[in-house]
Amino acid sequence: MPCKITLIGAGSVVFAKTLIGDILQFPELSDAHICLMDISPARLKVADIMMKKIVAKLGVKARVESTSDQRKAIKGAKYVICTVQVGGYQPSTRRDFDIPKKYGLEQTIADTLGVGGVFRGLRTIPVINSIAQDIADHAHPDCLFLNYSNPMAMNCWAVDEGVGIPHVGLCHSVFGTAMMLASHAGLPYEDVSYLVAGVNHMAFFLKFQYRGQDAYPLLFKVLEDPERNYELVRYEMMRRTGYFVTESSEHQSEYLPYFIHHGKKVIDKFCIPIDEYLRRCEAIISTWQQTEDTLLGKDRDIDVSPQSHEYGSYIIHSRETDTLRTVYGNVPNDGLIDNLTQGCCVEVPCQVDATGLNPLKIGALPEQLAALCMTNVNVQRLTVEAALTKKREHIYHAVMADPHASSTLTLDQIWSMCDELIEAHQKDGYLGEFAPTIKDTGRSYAGVGDRVIAKVKTKGEQLHKAGNKFTVIVEVENPGEKDISVPLLLSSSNPQLKLEKSKLKIAVKRRATAKVQIQAKVLEVIEEPVKLQLDTDDSNVLAIGNKLLPRRLLEKADDGLSHFKLQLAGFDAAVGSLKRTDKHLEVRMRITDSDIKPNEAAPHKGSVVELFFASEDKPVIKQVFAIPGKKSGVQLVYRGHNKIPGASVTAKRSKIDYSFTAKIPLSEIGVAKKGPFLFDVLCTLSALGDAHSGGRCSLGNNFGSFLKTEHYHQVNP
């Protein structure tokens, strides 16, 4: 019984003519049932007339039918060939070139990798997978899906992961490059053999042989030719990696970070044709009428060329006749290449006969080649993830990982460019909806941006005083578009802290914040930290409690000093001591800042020590800045740069730290000659010693709360 062979995207008439012409020239396939499908009625009509003329010209018994119904075209088919281009030259390809160009990103072909490849993949994968699903549901049980549509690796990976039917991606780059290299080396193609492996358009000739001998020396001779003005990028990459790659120099130049983004000088040196795909498309469009006349044989019989080297017809013939052949196909990496991601789409030799398509195990690629392939695989993986999960964040991640885009654009530019491309393609109707992200981030809005946040804050707490009352504030922020009511349970880890209310239900308007105030009372002096726990049964509420710290006493040591230490990210950042005399408070500190960068205009934004003092009974806070000089010394001032009357300071520094001793009149900082006072200190460092970045650290860990004295340390030196 004749097998049914369906061509989807038959409007690609030039390629369709080659594929179907190849198939019908095999006597065993000459009675095939050829079904043509395309969404363009005009193009489909041309394809239908053309195919029937080919059948007549060849004198074969094949039957040709045409339909715009995809499911009807696939029903009962044993082979489905796909050549679709979603969105066409206008508007989609123009979008993929014009919008990135606004951001300074130049491209050559933009159909496989890079931002153009990513968005072509996002448009194509849903269509490819709808074809694959129809094959799974309606085609012949032994149907093989042959895909010619780019981006090849992304499309095939998505078919394997999203549907899981037997499929192979076919490309002319392997045999085309092999013929080209034979010509460059001056060898008869029939005497050349080769082994190629990698990913589509980034596969490498692991072996290039003439009658069993290594012929790479001839290619390196070509490399040395000073008159050579062809394939400059590919030969340059062979020079650097030791192996020749399968796809053209114009493709390679945008898959790698070494060429286009370095500017006109490098572009000219390697003869890189910017916007090359646009030129080709415009040439094809301008000559379409002439091409149509030629294809239809308007003034004469149609010409049918001899069988081409395209793999499609040979795969079908081998399966139908049990003729063993080796072809190169893009297939899932099921242990075929050890040092590429399992499950990704790889291009390897495949033996095909009546048992089907059988990929050959390669083992490990040379490590430098695997590393280059993985820069492509990373982008492919993220694009497939975006297309299958509809998570918008992975669109940004894919472009962010692309070697050319990441070496040309800032992260802000990548995000803006992707936003503009998404909006444009969606407006054109060629890109579906994606789950939103938090603005200007790579994180999904769902589960993060829409999460309700409930926090416990306090005001006026003093745990060291029995009978003290203070306010606990429960604040709920609702980022969503609906009014909500949040159930919460507030509890204390210490029974000596009595809460006026524990069960809460807080109503919050859309995109608003609500607060509830609760009175708390200290029954007895509390000397250990207290946890205020906030709980909820609502899974979309992030409930954050608080930790109340009683005042800690900085006691006098045997040396007569009260010592303290500050840590940053778990490492010692500063040490110091306090000593009170009749008239002065002496502050000694050593700060491990190895890259001192003071900011005299805004001291808190540069390297600085901020000292805070207050009387226990009259907590008026006095703030003193100790600002290291750019080269030496330390300046002691109030906020506003006013000098402190009667204060003195000495300082020294090394390449790893600086230290100072400050003597400050007690009267200037509100500290009595005897009795306890309150103290806190904050340090800002540019670099923590010799191995860590800087930051801010505080004795009381109460950043942003220095206008309150509740958690200051109590000093009685």
Given a cut of 70, is residue 65 above it in pLDDT?
yes
Take residue 125 and report the two structure tokens written for it. Answer: 């994968």
Task: State residue 650 phi and psi, 5-degree precision.
Answer: -120, 150
Average confidence (pLDDT) over 631-655: 92
Phi/psi at 249 (nearest 5 deg)?
-65, -35
Q: What angle do CA 13, 303, 48 make, to 5 degrees?
A: 35
Element (H, E) at 156: helix 152-162
Nearest CA to 118 among 410, 429, 384, 447?
384
Q: Which range (334-338, 550-554, 675-679) has the least confidence?
A: 550-554
Lowest mean pLDDT among 170-179, 304-313, 543-552: 543-552
Backbone angles phi, psi at 486, to 5 degrees: -105, 120
pLDDT digits (tens, 9 = 90+) for 593-612: 999 999 988 888 999 999 99
- pLDDT at residue 706 tops 60: no
**pLDDT at residue 558, as a whole number:** 86
3-state secondary structure of 22: helix
**Would the pLDDT of 294 be above 80?**
no
Q: Among all residues, which ones are annotated catalytic?
A: 172
Q: What percent of the chain has pLDDT over 70?
A: 97
Please tell me the pTM assigned to this model: 0.90
The pLDDT of residue 549: 86
Is the pLDDT at 717 greater than 80, yes or no?
A: no
What's the pLDDT at 76?
98
- Say whether pLDDT at 345 is over 60: yes
Cis, peptide link before residue 91, omega less than 30° from 0 = yes
Q: Which helix (H) or strand (E) holds 203?
A: strand 202-210
pLDDT confidence of 563, banded at 50, 70, 90? very high
465-487 pLDDT per residue, tens: 899 999 999 999 999 999 999 99
What are the structural domain ranges in the chain? Answer: 4-172+284-331, 450-548, 553-715
Supply 137's token pair.
């549901």
The per-residue pLDDT for 248 is: 96
Residue 703 has pLDDT above 70, yes or no: no
Token duo for residue 480: 């969503």
Rounded alpha-carbon distances, angstroms, from residue 102 to 6, 33, 97: 41, 48, 9
Residue 66 has pLDDT above 80, yes or no: yes
Q: How many helices and strands (H and E) does the chain possess?
A: 18, 33
The reply to whether 553-715 shares the fold of 450-548 is yes
pLDDT at 41: 95
The yes/no answer on whether domain 553-715 falls in CATH 3.10.129.10 is: no
CA distance 70 to 646: 90
DSSP code string of 441-505: SSSBIIIIIT-EEEEEEEES--TTSTT-EEEEEEEEEE-SSS-EEEEEEEEES-TTEEES--EEE
- pLDDT at residue 559 in the model: 86
Average pLDDT over residues 416-440: 97
pLDDT number for residue 536 = 97
In CATH, what is the architecture of 450-548? Sandwich (2.60)
CATH (one of 3.40.50.300, 3.90.1820.10, 3.90.1150.10, 3.40.50.2300) for 4-172+284-331 = 3.90.1820.10
Tell me the average pLDDT of the chain: 94
Overall average pLDDT of the 693-715 stretch: 72
pLDDT digits (tens, 9 = 90+) for 73-104: 999 999 999 999 999 999 999 999 999 999 99
